[in-house]
Amino acid sequence: MKYSNFFIPTFRENPSDAKLKSHILMLKSGMIKQETSGIYSWLPLGFKVLKKIIKIIEDTHDSHGINQILMPTIQSSDIWKMSERYDTYGKEMLRIIDRNNKELLYGPTNEEMITSIGKHFIKSYKNLPRYFYHIQSKFRDEIRPRFGVMRAREFLMKDAYSFDKDEKSGELTYENFFKLYLSIFEKLGLKIIPVRAPSGEIGGSLSHEFHLLLETGESKIFIDETFLNSNFSKLKIPEIKSINSFTDELYDSLKISKCLKQLKSTELGHIFLFGEKYSKSFDFKIDYNNEKIYPYMGSYGIGVSRIPAAIIELSNDNNGIIWPKEVAPFEITLINLTSDNVSTKLFCEQLYASLKKSNYDVLLDDRFERPGIKFSDADLIGIPIQIIVGKNFIDKKEINIKTRKDLNETTICSDNIFKFLKKMKV
């Protein structure tokens, strides 16, 4: 992509109404625009990051045989009345009356709808297990939206749902999703701590949240320090059930006497095994060995639109964002410092085409701007590798390679660029 064709409205000044570093940098780098309280538009740079994250999530789910679907954002109140959650969910639910006086709602979650789908199509244990997931906008009318997309009212969520024939099968599925989530976060370059959590409004007997440790995190977790460096992906369901880390709510409710370390964090995922709660309320039965049974169900959520903010909160400096290569909007930014020079312009155009042909994701800064602005924007948007072409190329056929993470800069012969990138494992 050429910068002249790609809309990146960067700002020099910090926004007055943003306090969290990730919120400030997402606004300054032109990733998002606030439309109203807790509701944001994702602009091209931000949306490109979201798509990188979504692809990792989709590829991982697809490789594990989890079917992708898409359920509507607007739901009928009828299915929520069947589960008896319509009146208990609270003011976070946005209720709507249509022109036919029908009660609708903007879905805050999809347990009811997936149960309705399951009841319509799944008739026998021979159809089980079944796993579905979708990535969709949700709306929860937060009483105090804050921290940008970290605590928004409208947000993008990945939800998966499982149907099993009994509790033992359901627990195996839960264990598999537990490990699947650890795998996803590892692919995103994030070290996640799973913690035991209350089931809350969703319900069920087994629940874990997935937290990223952040000094600016709004959550508190309690954990046995010996677990911090554990390989959680090796755990089986008995160890998962008794893992020695907790959300603050569960820690307080269980009145745990053991002294655990309190850490600040932000929640990026939450999984539940709620068993027969919804299948019973929907009278959803299947045939199993000449009898009727209720399927055993679970749900598994990832806060997709929270992830870019969490990554930025973890990885930034005074100059701007430092994207890990896994989710960076581009791998390389190619900066032409002398856009009015014929030789540098031709070289950059040819190098840009060659990099793209070699499957590098490249942003070519072809703007007629001062070098200081180009450098400032490049550091602000945080692309991992900067290739800088300026007067040294005109005089000596040399270019500079700068790594955003440590700001180290190396001068090389322009003919050696691909060899150098390969050595850097870009």
- 284-304 pLDDT, tens digit per residue, is 999 999 999 999 999 999 999
Domain 3-316 falls in which CATH fold?
BirA Bifunctional Protein; domain 2 (3.30.930)
Provide the 10 A C-beta neighbour count for residue 338. Answer: 16
Q: Can you tell me the distance from the alpha carbon of 321 to that of 225, in angstroms, rounded to the nearest whole number?
A: 30
Per-residue pLDDT band for 257 (boundaries 50, 70, 90) equals: confident
b or e along 55-88 (b: 16 or more beta carbons within 10 Å of the residue's beta carbon)?
Answer: ebbbebbeeeebeeeebeeebbbebbebbebbee
Does the pLDDT of residue 230 top 90, yes or no?
A: no
Instruction: Work out the pLDDT band at 225, boundaries 50, 70, 90.
Output: confident
Per-residue pLDDT tens over the stretch 9-61: 999 999 988 999 999 999 999 999 999 999 999 999 999 999 999 999 999 99
How far is the CA of 373 from the CAs of 11, 296, 380, in angstroms?
A: 11, 57, 10
Check pLDDT > 80 for residue 125.
Answer: yes
d(CA 353, CA 213): 40
Q: Answer whether 268's CB lies under 8 Å from 303's CB.
A: yes
Q: Are 20 and 308 in contact (CB under 8 A)?
A: no
Which residues neighbour 239 within 8 Å (Cβ) at sequence distance 6 or greater? none
**CB-based burial of residue 395 (10 Å sphere; 0-12 exposed, 13-18 middle, 19+ buried)?**
exposed
Q: What are phi and psi of 93, to 5 degrees?
A: -80, 125
Least confident of 141-145, 298-302, 422-426: 422-426
Helix (H) or strand (E) holding 376: helix 371-381
Strand pairing class (385-389; 398-403): antiparallel
201: pLDDT confidence band, cut at 50, 70 and 90?
Answer: confident
How large a percentage of the chain has pLDDT more than 70? 100
What does the alpha-carbon distance between residue 237 and residue 380 come to, in Å, rounded to a whole number? Answer: 43
Which CATH topology does 332-423 take? Rossmann fold (3.40.50)
148 close to 161: Cβ distance less than 8 angstroms: no
The pTM of the full predicted model, rounded to 2 decimals, is 0.95
The SS3 of residue 243 is coil
The string of DSSP letters for 183-229 reads HHHHHTT--EEEEE---TTT--SEEEEEEEE-TT-SEEEEE-GGGTT
pLDDT at site 199: 86
The neighbouring-strand residues paired with 387 are 334, 401
How far apart, in whole angstroms, are the C-alpha atoms of residue 213 and residue 283?
41
Domain residue ranges in the chain: 3-316, 332-423
> What does the pLDDT read at residue 205?
79
Asked, as a colleague might, if the bond just before 72 is cis with ω within 30 of 0, I would say no
Judge whether residue 203 has pLDDT over 80: no
State the burial class of residue 13 (Cβ atoms within 10 Å of its Cβ: 0-12, 13-18, 19+). exposed
Q: How confident is residue 425, by pLDDT bands cut at 50, 70 and 90?
A: confident
- CA separation for the pair 328, 384 (Å, rounded): 7
Q: Does the pLDDT of residue 426 top 80, yes or no?
A: no
**Total residue length of the chain:** 426
- Residues above pLDDT 90, as percent of the chain: 91
Residue type, 268: L
- Weakest mean pLDDT among 228-232, 297-301, 317-321: 228-232
| Residue 272: both structure tokens together | 């539940």
Residues with Cβ within 8 Å of residue 358, at least 6 apart in sequence: 418
Question: Does the pLDDT of residue 313 top 80, yes or no?
Answer: yes
Q: Could you give the angle at the alpha carbon of 379 between the alpha carbons of 422 and 356, nearest 5°?
A: 40
- Beta-carbon contacts of 186 under 8 Å, excluding residues fewer than 6 positions away, are 192
